[in-house]
Chains A and B, each alone.
Chain A
Amino acid sequence: QKEVEQNSGPLSVPEGAIASLNCTYSDRGSQSFFWYRQYSGKSPELIMFIYSNGDKEDGRFTAQLNKASQYVSLLIRDSQPSDSATYLCAVKETSYDKVIFGPGTSLSVIP
């Protein structure tokens, strides 16, 4: 059974700090990696996807991928209270056109 693992949190950071969210995956052949943000009671929203080793930046968000270590992370710079949500890591399976989701990390940004 292929797996995606995340620390469940909650992760608390002060406003303006950098929040670092981590994810590991078991399918060594995975090629596509995603970060979704889910506010309480709402559906997930795609915020980043990454395919290549290294960093990908979009505004205050940076996704980092290390395929050798089977590790993907999300950095949120200048964290705001509105960033308080659960962040889901997701990985596309090698063999099938579907995605496995991790359990999510709850982030709380303290004003």
Chain B
Amino acid sequence: DGGITQSPKYLFRKEGQNVTLSCEQNLNHDAMYWYRQDPGQGLRLIYYSQIVNDFQKGDIAEGYSVSREKKESFPLTVTSAQKNPTAFYLCASSTRSGALYGYTFGSGTRLTVV
């Protein structure tokens, strides 16, 4: 079945540590997105990519980095520069103009700082 796989489901980060969240899709979608969701709030865009080897900053990119070396994969690294990383992280994908038709979301990664 086609879909988006995010891993791990739960992740714990120590202070000063970088961690990487995985996102893989087999939908043959061109565009991929990373959102952050805090309790009681909507989704805020971190980074997005519309094509391999190209990506753009979203509204809250500081403290995060991404790569898009393969069409299927869009990993997100939460660096030590992100001072408040505890949140629910959602990866999504769409066709190239798929923002017209909506996104498919992965199941999310819940990151907690310990």
Q: Which stretch from A59-67, A73-81, A94-102 is at the chain B interface?
A: A94-102
- A92-B100, A97-B50, A98-B58 known; A44 vs B90 contact (CB < 8 Å): yes
Chain A CB within 8 A of B105 CB: yes
CB pair A101–B43 under 8 Å, yes or no, is yes
> Which chain B residue lies CB-closest to A31?
B100
CB pair B105–A43 under 8 Å, yes or no, is yes
- How many chain B residues touch A (CB < 8 A): the figure is 25
In angstroms, how far is the closest chain B Cβ from the Cβ of A22? 15
Interchain CA distance A90-B45 in the complex, whole Å: 12
- A43-B106, A45-B105 known; A98 vs B90 contact (CB < 8 Å): no
Task: Return chain A residues, CB-CB under 8 Å to B44.
Answer: 101
CB pair B102–A46 under 8 Å, yes or no, is yes
Task: Return chain B residues, CB-CB under 8 Å to A99.
Answer: 99, 102-103
In angstroms, how far is the closest chain A Cβ from the Cβ of B31? 7
Task: Return chain A residues, CB-CB under 8 Å to B48.
Answer: 98
Task: Return chain B residues, CB-CB under 8 Å to A92.
Answer: 99-100
Interface residues on A, range: 20 to 34
- A45-B105, A92-B100 known; A103 vs B58 contact (CB < 8 Å): no
Task: Return chain A residues, CB-CB under 8 Å to B90.
Answer: 43-44
Task: Return chain B residues, CB-CB under 8 Å to A4.
Answer: 42
**Can you give 30 contacting A-B residue pairs, CB < 8 Å?**
A4-B42, A8-B40, A31-B100, A32-B99, A32-B100, A42-B107, A43-B90, A43-B105, A43-B106, A43-B107, A43-B108, A49-B102, A88-B43, A90-B102, A92-B99, A97-B31, A97-B96, A97-B97, A97-B99, A98-B33, A98-B45, A98-B48, A99-B99, A99-B103, A100-B45, A101-B43, A102-B42, A103-B40, A103-B41, A103-B42
- B residues near A (Cβ < 8 Å) are 31, 33, 35, 40-45, 48, 50, 58, 90, 96-97, 99-108
- A residues near B (Cβ < 8 Å) are 4, 8, 31-32, 34, 36, 42-46, 49, 51, 88, 90, 92, 97-104
